[in-house]
Amino acid sequence: MAEITAPAYRIIPIIPALKPDAMVESKPYVASDKIQEAIGFPGKLADDWQVTHDAVIAKMGELLSKYRSLKVYLDACVHCGACSDKCHYFIGTQDPKNMPVARQDLMRSVYRRYFTLPGKLFPKLVGARDLTKEVLDEWYSYYNQCSECRRCSVFCPYGIDTAEITMAAKEILDSVGYGQKYSNEIIGKVHKIGNNLGLPPPALLDTLEGLEEDVKEDTGIDVRFPLDVKGAEVLLITPSADFFAEPHIDSLIGYAKVFHASGVSWTLSSMASEAGNFGMFIGNYEQLRKIALRVREAALELGVKRIVVGECGHAWRVAYSFWNTLIGVGAGASDPYAIQLQNQLDLRYKQPMHICEFTWDLIERGGLSFDKEANDKHIITFHDSCNVARASRMGDFAGGQFEIPRNIIKACANNFVEMRDGATREQTFCCGGGGGLLTDELLDLRVKGALPRMEALQQVKDSHDVNFMATICAICKAQFTKVLPMYGFDRRVVGGVHQLVSNAIKLGDK
Amino acid sequence: MSLLFALLFYLAILVLALGLGYKVYDFARTPAPLLIPTTPAPTTQGGVALRMAREVFLFESLFKSNLWIWGAGMMFHAGLALVLIRHLRYFTEPVWSWVALIQPFGIYAGLLMGAGLCGLWIRRIFVERIRYISTPSDHLMLALLLAIAASGLSMKFISHTDIVGVKNFFLGMMHLNLQPLPADGVLYLHLLLVAALMLIFPFSKLLHAPGVFFSPSRNQIDNPREKRHIAPWAADLEK
């Protein structure tokens, strides 16, 4: 394989010309039978194609009856092209099948053939096609080139969200034994060990004790990193990358310092030592729910009053948008199942709460003080993580997910610069590594998918000497750490919002 | 011929009503198990109604995306809406006063509609990305709509048809009392194409019209922390 390099910045940043099949060979490793079976999927494709064919169509029919999104989105598209130049993977790869509409059509063509009258009668006319092994391979390739970031759904006049179709495709592929190794292996680990990285409880405890020593050495203050403390007020659920990856760990230190300054007792859980929920990436409701249930179990066992979520994009989507549905973390339940948990939680607070909401609330009430000069070496911009921006909220008003992290940055640092319009807030570009694509064999795709973000970053670097891009997502942090150097940036340009908080927070006078 | 057209239109109305009715029922009965509004999203029902109104009347998302598609799409849809309202005069006696009021604008609306369709078609043919995603039916749909507009306009500008006779025909149909349809080739063509459009509506991408109202990313309230949202099949998992 040729060495992977970054594509050139677009000189005139308009629509790229098409390069058909440029990425047809890009596909992640297929999950082994062991990985598949560990989470309840068939180990491999059936030997007889007809069996697989029938199973795919049956599964598609089942999903069409369970998900209104899929049904409406497959019917409603008029091929207007509004989404066609909006996907970061299309911009970076120029492969036309990475246009959101073309990606949807990979499935829509099969839907039309088997589920609609015109497709049954006049397949050629309406772009319908038979399901063949080649079609299924194409699904595997291109539905694993979508990070489920929802940027296309912002621009679609009917709100068609390609992520919903990608999730359905992955669900179908899994159900016939054609799963993706990276995501499914991680789901196995989260069930077996408690987190995506396979960090066992003793190692976690060791890491946290080490952190206490480090912070003590650094600040002279006993900032605690509690694990499995019963009766704590707050249970913090954070991505496991926060426990040891760089720069993630600096944000974990930031959360601990904020809790320390707030005086609120808190704990991590070894059982639920992972905020990430890859069940969402593979579109499997049962896995999504089962992974979330660990959080509910931990909350009940530890008797906490509040659940706070660390810096992680899709995890915050799952927590904010889905937890109340899946496991009853939230309010307004009328069923006994959720009422038990909701009686335990203190509903005067938002449940669940984002760590940024927690920190900003404290700042607003004057509960934190900062030495802003400590961040003066940084000229900071903010990368909105896709799932936080377009699939969740913070605070009490629509768009709080944009304002609150920025407000925190401005409260603890002096130099803040926005990237260009059209590349931030609801129109932000995905980092290029979301949706279960953060795996080495997809590095070429990830580098190309980062192009529009890197262009926007380069602009503010050139105009304002920006040298720090804050973000609140573990996947964004890992992805940028890897691809920034390929675009000529230092990898330490990326970091967390609570890393900046950690740099500047004053602990001594509390 | 009058009888044939009457039967065709009875059939077309039946297929349109039943087909669309079934589709709407099908959309409505399919659960949406998770809250997936594209955020930032309204946090109240009223806010959602406003968002939907902006989407339906102003094409808000399309406006954010691409001004050319928005412009051509707006011209076509606004023109079509006015033209449809103007055609109410063939189905009401006496003609409602507000319908009578907008009659003079109907002609411009027809021209606007045609221009919009041409714009959309030019885009479909000449923009590489959109040509790539187009199926033969996408082109045929534009051809059909354009032919409807052209045949309709030609009855205004080129060869007038007996519109009193047309009105009698449709009023007769509405009262199950068949009246003769004026023998006019252009009129026949116009009506044939309209009937064809009605017949394919429930089976084609024209479903975007009811579909937008059922799009979870646009019609859901952003209130997951305040209210538990759960689909029946998902609730069964808890038993």
In this structure, are A85 and A161 located in the same domain?
yes
Mean pLDDT across chain B: 95
A69: nearest CB among B43, B216, B234: B216
Within this chain, do residues A291 and A157 fall inside the same structural domain, yes or no? no
Q: Establish if A298 belongs to a structural domain.
A: yes
- Among candidate residues A179, A204, A229, the one where a domain is terminated: A179
Residues 172-231, chain A: which have Cβ within 8 Å of B? none
Residue in A321, A328, A392 nearest the CB of B228: A328
Shared-domain flag, residues A386 and A495? yes
- How high is the pLDDT of residue A510? 45
C-alpha distances (whole Å) from B102 to each of B52, B83, B154 are 26, 10, 20
Q: Would the pLDDT of B193 be above 80?
A: yes
Please tell me the total count of domains within chain A. 3
Tell whether A446 and A396 lie within a shared domain.
Answer: yes
- Domain limits for position A274: 186-359
Annotate chain B with three-state secondary structure: CHHHHHHHHHHHHHHHHHHHHHHHHHHHHCCCCCCCCCCCCCCCHHHHHHHHHHHHHHCHHHHHHCHHHHHHHHHHHHHHHHHHHHHHHHCCCCCCHHHHHCHHHHHHHHHHHHHHHHHHHHHHHHCHHHHHHCCHHHHHHHHHHHHHHHHHHHHHHCCCCCHHHHHHHHHHHHCCCCCCCCCCHHHHHHHHHHHHHHHHHHHCHHHHHHHHHHCHHHHCCCCCCCCCCCCHHHHHHHC
A190 and A223 inside one domain: yes
Position A332 pLDDT exceeds 80: yes
Residue A285 has its nearest CB partner, among B65, B229, B234, at B234
Phi, psi dihedral angles at B226 (to 5 degrees) = -90, -30
Q: Are residues A118 and A252 in the same domain?
A: no
Q: Are residues A115 and A201 in the same domain?
A: no
Tens of pLDDT along B78-113? 999 999 999 999 999 899 999 999 888 888 999 999
- Report chain B residues whose CB lies below 8 A from the CB of A334: 228
* Cβ within 8 Å of B, A 299-358: 320-325, 328, 330-335, 337-338, 350-352
Q: Which residues of B touch A18 (CB under 8 A)?
A: 128-129, 132
State the ipTM, two decimals: 0.96
Report pLDDT digits (tens) over A404-453: 999 999 999 999 999 999 999 999 999 999 999 999 999 999 999 999 99
Residue A392 and residue A428 share a domain: yes
Evaluated on CA atoms B184, B188, B190, B191, the torsion sign reads positive
**Statement to judge: residues A211 and A343 lie in one domain:** yes
pLDDT at A13 (0 to 100):
62
Structural domain contains residue A48: yes
Q: Are residues A190 and A326 in the same domain?
A: yes
Residues in chain A: 510
* Contact in structure between B45 and B221 (CB atoms under 8 Å): yes
Task: For A476-492, write each residue's pLDDT tens digit.
Answer: 999 999 999 999 999 99
pLDDT at A16: 72
What is the rounded CA–CA span in Å between residue A415 and residue A464? 10
What sign results for the dihedral spanned by CA atoms A360, A248, A377, A510?
A: positive
Contacts of B39 in chain A (CB under 8 A): 389-393, 398, 401, 426
The 10s digit of each residue's pLDDT in B2-26 is 999 999 999 999 999 999 999 999 9
The amino acid at A271:
M
Pick the residue of A64, A70, A77, A78 with the most B CBs within 10 A to test the interface with B by mutation.
A78
* Chain B residue numbers touching A156 (CB-CB < 8 A): 61, 65
Spatial separation of the C-alpha atoms in residues A166 and A144, rounded to whole Å: 8
Residue carrying structure tokens 């055609």 = B87
Q: How deeply is A396 buried, as exposed, middle or buried, from its count of CB atoms within 10 A (0-12, 13-18, 19+)? A: exposed
Same domain? For A205 and A169 the reply is no
Which residue has 């810096």 as its token pair? A311
- What are A125-158's pLDDT values in tens digits? 999 999 999 999 999 999 999 999 999 999 999 9
Answer whether A127 touches B (CB < 8 Å).
Answer: yes
Looking at the structure, tell me whether residues A231 and A336 fall in a common domain: yes
Last residue of a domain, one of A131, A162, A179: A179
Percent of the residues in chain A that have a pLDDT greater than 90, as a whole number: 93
Name the minimum distance, in Å, from the CA of A10 to any CA of chain B: 18
Once rounded to an integer, what is the mean pLDDT over residues A246-273?
96
In a domain, A25, yes or no: no
Q: Which residues pair with A381 in a beta bridge?
A: A469
Domains of chain B in start order, with CATH, are 2-16+45-219 (1.20.950.20)
CATH no. for residue A84? 1.10.1060
DSSP state string for A318-374: IIIIIHHHHH--SS---SHHHHHHHHHS-TTS-SSEEHHHHHHHHHHTT---B-GGG
